[in-house]
């Protein structure tokens, strides 16, 4: 997903879920000889059942790398991977339905928008337990998980069928080919939507399943699973959290419940029962005890079990004063102010400009309040030669300067994905931030052409995307422009001028 990112760092001390105790540490040299330890993320697959399942279901290709220790989540021993969350249920291992309510019931992550549940698709699903269930699933997949869609080789059905092979599931031989459908259903579940293009990037096609989202990228003709478990971890830790996901998940009881500095939680009331967060996301080779989470109001879901090795063994803490202090509480609720007043204006966009009202959006969470808009001009020769033909802007108000700097960094990462683009995004190249315009206290941009190699052979190939992010005080702004790279067209100077106008309005409010 648009270089969807992120969130790798962690485990190899086995976390014994039943008693919250920590096994003796393993040194780095030993870890390198351990096939269960993944140095890329720092985590070990310590649970035997999870390891067996991971090994016999195509491992890293299907699940990605481990990104947590084994810890108690939703009442069962659980381990997070990049794409899936594996949970021990009785004598078996299951993949969680990550898109269900209470986990990730969202449709926009890191600037990518995938389809929501389509009830017409769900109602047509085969009924489990029927005598012809396997055949019915195959027919259902042929209809709703096509390999070709709107001329694109999306390979949804092929990706589903090749997720687990007989050699994966039965490394010692044997096994019936008739089991493959059921094995792949374990990974994906059934489709719950029809294929849909990303409204912000015509190259991307998504298909939603019960347990994941398939992502086809037309630029590489490749199909793979979104890193949904990474996204859920970002919600819980509030680290590497995309701005759009953070806005949607602000009211989730899981949001920001884990502090990566003290490696513990919950940090506020409302955490669902059956979740124990002590050291859940601490790297495996880090033997330190979990810090003490902040005191919660009586009746909240604070952990009832010991949070450090000394406490688990009934020993007094030798240096209680060395435990990290709880972080100061964040201001309650979103910041004050109306970000719409700082957006790019129709009057600044040139002749024939029209603000697309259906694309004007607002949102807020405990960290920020934001608004965005999009202004379009008809794609005529005259308009191409008099500035950008598409201008999108976003204004964000944070509580303070430090918060704004973090939001700025998050938005800068999105430059690579050009989330506002509706036309094909090809090769990317430098955006020159130098000029006479005031673009805030810090600013960073990126340009991209339509062609994969920026080979300009005719006027159509000169169409250019530009995106820049800037920060001034506790404000953050984003400007995206699209148009022709002619001297009076979609130049870097034009993009900086839109940013300057927004900065001036923001400075007047400081």
Instruction: Please tell me what DSSP assigns to residue 335.
Output: P
Of 34, 43, 198, 188, the residue nearest 108 (C-alpha): 198
- The residue that leads in pLDDT, 365 or 274, is 274
Instruction: Please tell me what DSSP assigns to residue 348.
Output: G
User: In sequence order, what are the beta bridge partners of 89?
Assistant: 92
55-66 per-position pLDDT tens digit: 999 999 999 999
Structural domain contains residue 333:
no
- The residue that leads in pLDDT, 329 or 275, is 275
Token duo for residue 200: 């912000």
Number of structural domains (the chain) is: 3
Q: Are residues 420 and 494 in the same domain?
A: yes
- Give the pLDDT mean for 159-169: 91
In sequence order, which residues have a C-beta less than 8 Å from that of residue 158 and are 6 or more positions away? 147, 223
154 pLDDT above the threshold of 70: yes
Token duo for residue 360: 């004007």
347-396 per-position pLDDT tens digit: 888 888 888 777 888 888 778 899 999 999 999 988 888 899 999 999 99
326 pLDDT above the threshold of 90: no
9 pLDDT above the threshold of 50: no
| pLDDT recorded at residue 455 | 60
| pLDDT recorded at residue 510 | 87
281 pLDDT above the threshold of 70: yes
* Cα separation, 351 vs 92, whole angstroms: 64
Q: Are residues 301 and 218 in the same domain?
A: no
| pLDDT recorded at residue 300 | 42
Q: Are residues 295 and 182 in the same domain?
A: no
Where among 165, 195, 224 does a domain terminate?
224
Per-residue pLDDT band for 156 (boundaries 50, 70, 90) equals very high
Tell me which of 163-177, 339-353, 406-420 is least confident: 163-177
Mean pLDDT of the chain: 84
In degrees, to the nearest 5, what angle opens at C-alpha 361 toward C-alphas 357 and 365? 165
Task: Dump the DSSP string for 276-295.
Answer: --TTTTS-TT--PPPPPPPP
Cis peptide before 266 (omega within 30 of 0): yes
Q: Are residues 85 and 195 in the same domain?
A: no
Structural domain contains residue 157:
no
Name the 3-class secondary structure at 151.
coil
Structural domain contains residue 327:
no
Q: Are residues 218 and 248 in the same domain?
A: no
Q: Are residues 187 and 259 in the same domain?
A: no
In sequence order, which residues have a C-beta less than 8 Å from that of residue 176 and are 6 or more positions away? none
What are the angstrom distances between the C-alpha of 225 and each of 121, 239, 478?
20, 21, 29
| pLDDT recorded at residue 27 | 54
396-410 per-position pLDDT tens digit: 999 999 999 999 999
90-131 per-position pLDDT tens digit: 889 999 999 988 999 999 998 899 999 999 999 999 988 888
Where among 224, 253, 285 does a domain terminate?
224
Q: Is 417 exposed, middle or buried (0-12, 13-18, 19+ CB in 10 A)?
A: buried
Q: Are residues 252 and 182 in the same domain?
A: no
The neighbour count for residue 199, using CB atoms within 10 Å, is 12
| pLDDT recorded at residue 30 | 59
In degrees, to the nearest 5, what angle opens at C-alpha 484 toward C-alphas 482 and 485? 110
- Give the pLDDT mean for 309-328: 41
Name the 3-class secondary structure at 301.
coil
299 pLDDT above the threshold of 70: no
Domain housing 178: 115-148+173-224
> The domain that contains 459 carries what CATH number?
3.40.1000.70
Q: Are residues 344 and 490 in the same domain?
A: yes
Q: Are residues 344 and 424 in the same domain?
A: yes
Structural domain contains residue 67:
yes
Cα distance between the two ends of the chain: 37
- Give the pLDDT mean for 328-343: 77
Of 70, 59, 55, the residue nearest 11 (C-alpha): 70
190 pLDDT above the threshold of 60: yes
Structural domain contains residue 168:
no
Per-residue pLDDT band for 331 (boundaries 50, 70, 90) equals low
Token duo for residue 83: 């794409």
| pLDDT recorded at residue 333 | 66
- Give the pLDDT mean for 183-208: 94
210 pLDDT above the threshold of 50: yes
Q: Are residues 297 and 396 in the same domain?
A: no
* Cα separation, 66 vs 85, whole angstroms: 9
* Cα separation, 354 vs 377, whole angstroms: 6
| pLDDT recorded at residue 238 | 92
% the chain with pLDDT above 90:
60
Token duo for residue 321: 């004063």
Cβ contact 78:66 at 8 Å: no
- Give the pLDDT mean for 445-449: 93
DSSP E strands, 186-254: 196-198, 201-208, 213-217, 222-225
* Cα separation, 84 vs 486, whole angstroms: 46
Structural domain contains residue 192:
yes
467 pLDDT above the threshold of 70: yes
Structural domain contains residue 323:
no
- Give the pLDDT mean for 283-290: 94
* Cα separation, 209 vs 326, whole angstroms: 40
Tell me which of 20-34, 86-100, 185-199 is least confident: 20-34
Structural domain contains residue 351:
yes
- Give the pLDDT mean for 191-203: 94
177 pLDDT above the threshold of 80: no
Name the 3-class secondary structure at 485.
coil
- The residue that leads in pLDDT, 504 or 324, is 504
Q: Are residues 100 and 142 in the same domain?
A: no
Of 113, 110, 101, 135, the residue nearest 193 (C-alpha): 113
| pLDDT recorded at residue 352 | 84
18 pLDDT above the threshold of 50: no
Cβ contact 285:25 at 8 Å: yes
| pLDDT recorded at residue 488 | 86
Q: Are residues 132 and 185 in the same domain?
A: yes
Distance of CA 236 to the CA centre of its chain: 12
| pLDDT recorded at residue 172 | 83
């Amino acid at each position: 997903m648009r270089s969807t990112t992120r969130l790798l760092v962690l485990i190899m001390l086995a976390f014994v879920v039943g008693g919250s105790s920590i096994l003796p540490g393993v040194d780095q040299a030993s870890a390198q000889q351990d096939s269960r330890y993944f140095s890329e993320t720092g985590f070990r697959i310590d649970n035997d059942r999870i390891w067996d399942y991971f090994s016999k279901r195509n491992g890293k290709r299907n699940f990605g790398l481990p990104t947590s220790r084994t810890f108690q989540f939703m009442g069962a021993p659980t381990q997070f991977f990049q794409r899936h969350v594996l949970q021990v249920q009785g004598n078996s291992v299951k993949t969680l339905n990550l898109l269900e309510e209470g986990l990730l019931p969202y449709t926009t992550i890191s600037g990518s928008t995938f389809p929501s549940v389509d009830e017409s698709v769900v109602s047509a699903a085969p009924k489990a337990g029927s005598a012809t269930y396997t055949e019915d699933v195959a027919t259902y997949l042929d209809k709703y998980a096509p390999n070709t869609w709107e001329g694109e080789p999306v390979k949804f059905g092929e990706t589903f069928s090749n997720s687990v092979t007989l050699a994966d599931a039965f490394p010692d031989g044997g096994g019936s080919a008739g089991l493959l459908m059921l094995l792949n259903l374990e990974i994906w579940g059934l489709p719950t939507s029809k294929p849909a293009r990303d409204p912000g990037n015509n190259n991307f096609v998504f298909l939603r399943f019960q347990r994941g989202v398939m992502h086809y990228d037309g630029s590489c003709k490749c199909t793979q699973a979104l890193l949904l478990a990474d996204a859920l971890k970002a919600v819980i830790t509030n680290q590497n959290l995309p701005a759009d996901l953070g806005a949607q998940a602000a009211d989730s009881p899981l949001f920001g419940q884990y502090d990566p500095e003290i490696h513990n939680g919950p940090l506020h009331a409302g955490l669902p029962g059956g979740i124990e967060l002590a050291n859940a996301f601490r790297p495996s080779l880090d033997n330190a005890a979990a810090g003490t989470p902040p005191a919660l109001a009586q009746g909240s879901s604070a952990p009832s079990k010991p949070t450090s090795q000394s406490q688990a063994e009934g020993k007094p803490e030798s240096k209680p004063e060395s435990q990290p202090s709880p972080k100061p509480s964040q201001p309650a609720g979103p910041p004050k102010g109306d970000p719409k007043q700082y957006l790019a204006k129709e009057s600044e966009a040139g002749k024939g400009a029209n603000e697309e009202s259906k694309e004007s959006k607002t949102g807020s969470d405990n960290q920020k309040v934001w608004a965005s808009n999009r202004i379009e001009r008809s794609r005529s020769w005259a308009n191409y030669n008099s500035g950008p033909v598409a201008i999108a802007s976003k204004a964000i108000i944070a509580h303070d300067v430090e918060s704004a700097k973090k939001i700025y960094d998050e938005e800068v990462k999105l430059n690579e994905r050009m989330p506002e683009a509706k036309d094909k995004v090809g090769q990317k190249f430098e955006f020159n931030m130098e000029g006479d315009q005031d673009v805030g206290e810090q600013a960073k941009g990126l340009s991209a052409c339509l062609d994969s190699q920026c080979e300009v052979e005719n006027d159509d190939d000169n169409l250019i995307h530009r995106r820049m992010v800037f920060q001034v005080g506790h404000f953050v702004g984003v400007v995206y422009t699209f148009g022709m790279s002619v001297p009076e067209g979609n130049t870097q100077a034009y993009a900086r001028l839109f940013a300057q106008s927004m900065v001036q309005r923001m400075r007047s409010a400081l």
